[in-house]
Chains A and B, each alone.
Chain A
């Protein structure tokens, strides 16, 4: 049964090459990275567990591509931050020479500061938005399920979720601004 599902997905994967590459390029702003992820998608298809029944192979592949692209983008961002942080804090200039400085404590401090910032960002969310964010992203409930639990409409759940995301992003952006 799983074999049949894999067959369907591989056929769809090949047929969707162009549309997936277009999506990934738009998502990452990088043709080479898009190509890498399109390849990686195949590896994951072959290696991972597959759903027993598949109603929407196209959506399934899009979602896999979306998740991989997000992972890639986060890793790229972390790497950039590390590189910037590294040259900023781990070297100092003596005359014209750049010399290395001790690092571990600085790194730990920076990541602790970051955690504090994220914590503050979460604390500053309005209660309803925070609840929706936690139920959805940490506990994995769907908007429908959250709507049922909270006794509100899915449209309102989506509104709270969007507000939470926007708030977190703006809050963290402002603390980043302070640091540089």
Chain B
């Protein structure tokens, strides 16, 4: 029952170790100096390990904070959906459905309205989290699991089944999965795939080679173009919407407006090019449209104007600090 006493020099050591951890985790390029510090005393390594363990446990715990479990998503039968859905559904079904006379297939369409979020467990145990204004078609057969992201954004947690690959098609891109968690966004002609855990392969229609992504990789491409970019990012940013947050890092205000517009019935419009080009970094809680937009405006020299059709961001007084 003895509480270990931490001596003054040990406290200093921890302070230094914490400082190293703070700097190295955010991109500091001080590797030689860090090596020298570690070599100076074996207790430095132990202190750094203690800091790293505490930090990672805290992060694990915070990342566990699950969103409130929403009720099961609306499930439309294929027929009912064709009844109400019209052309979009017809097009979508020709893409996704590969009739197999020997294997009964299970189709379902999952959808959310603007501002709505839902979690759905599929028949194989995989989970699909649907963000705002999203529509996916799911086809399960014995040999494959196919999901077509018709529009919007979805985060997939795929149960491992090597005999039955899991495909997500979004526009002209195909994401192939064995077992992993990843986010796919199809918005404004761009497709973004972010991997949280595991590995996925992404390929473009008509291109034989695929790109392999691991945890923390983000793939971005414009639909119709062969080129793409892969960058390392913190995948929790792409998944932040699950907790009702949107995170922006050095995004232009027009990108922010376009992204936020997905959540609401009314578009967020910027007419002033100078305002559109402003940069924003930060976290916005997704609430009702005016609250969210006002919160954004409070951080920038812009004001919010509103009428029945749109919410506008215009040049205004700089925020008072």
Contacts and interface: CB of A to CB of B under 8 A. Distances in A.
Interface of A: 2, 19, 22-23, 26-29, 44, 47-52, 56, 59, 62, 66, 70, 73-74, 77, 114-115, 118-119, 121-122, 133-143, 145, 148-149, 151, 158, 161-163, 165-166, 168-174, 177-178
A23 B45 CA distance: 11
26 contacts: A28-B45, A47-B214, A48-B212, A52-B231, A73-B49, A119-B61, A122-B62, A139-B247, A140-B234, A140-B236, A140-B247, A142-B27, A142-B249, A145-B249, A145-B281, A162-B21, A165-B18, A166-B18, A166-B51, A170-B14, A171-B54, A172-B57, A173-B6, A174-B3, A178-B1, A178-B3
B102 interface: no
B283 interface: yes
A119 B50 CA distance: 17
Contacts of B236: 138-140
A158 B23 contact: yes
A135 B27 CA distance: 15
Given A118-B61, A173-B50, A142 B26 contact: yes
A163 B17 CA distance: 11
Contacts of A118: 57-58, 61
A56 B231 contact: no
B44 to A, nearest CB: 9
Nearest to B237: A140
Contacts, number: 158
Contact of A151 (B14, B48, B237, B321): B321
B272 to A, nearest CB: 22
Contact of B61 (A44, A59, A122): A122
Interface string B222-258: 0000000111111011001000010101100000000
Interface stretch (B35-43, B75-83, B110-118): B35-43
Given A49-B211, A149-B281, A169-B14, A23 B61 contact: no
A121 B45 CA distance: 22
A51 B231 contact: yes
B24 interface: yes
B282 interface: yes
Contact of B22 (A26, A149, A162): A162
Given A51-B230, A62-B31, A173-B6, A137 B39 contact: no
Nearest to B212: A49
A29 B321 CA distance: 48
A172 B29 CA distance: 29
A47 B61 contact: no
Contacts of B18: 161-163, 165-166, 169
B3 A143 contact: no
B217 to A, nearest CB: 4
Nearest to B6: A170
B143 interface: no
Contacts of B288: none
B109 interface: no
Nearest to A61: B31
B191 to A, nearest CB: 15
Given A70-B52, A140-B237, A47 B281 contact: no
Interface centre among B49, B211, B213, by most chain A C-beta atoms within 10 angstroms, is B49
A52 B211 contact: no
B212 A133 contact: no
A66 B232 CA distance: 15
Nearest to A23: B35
B80 to A, nearest CB: 40
A59 to B, nearest CB: 5
In the A-B complex, the 8 residue pairs with the closest CB atoms = A140-B234, A165-B18, A26-B38, A161-B22, A62-B31, A168-B54, A166-B18, A145-B281
Nearest to A60: B232
B255 to A, nearest CB: 15
A122 B55 CA distance: 10
A74 B58 contact: no
Contacts of B35: 22-23, 26-27
Contact of B55 (A137, A139, A141): A137
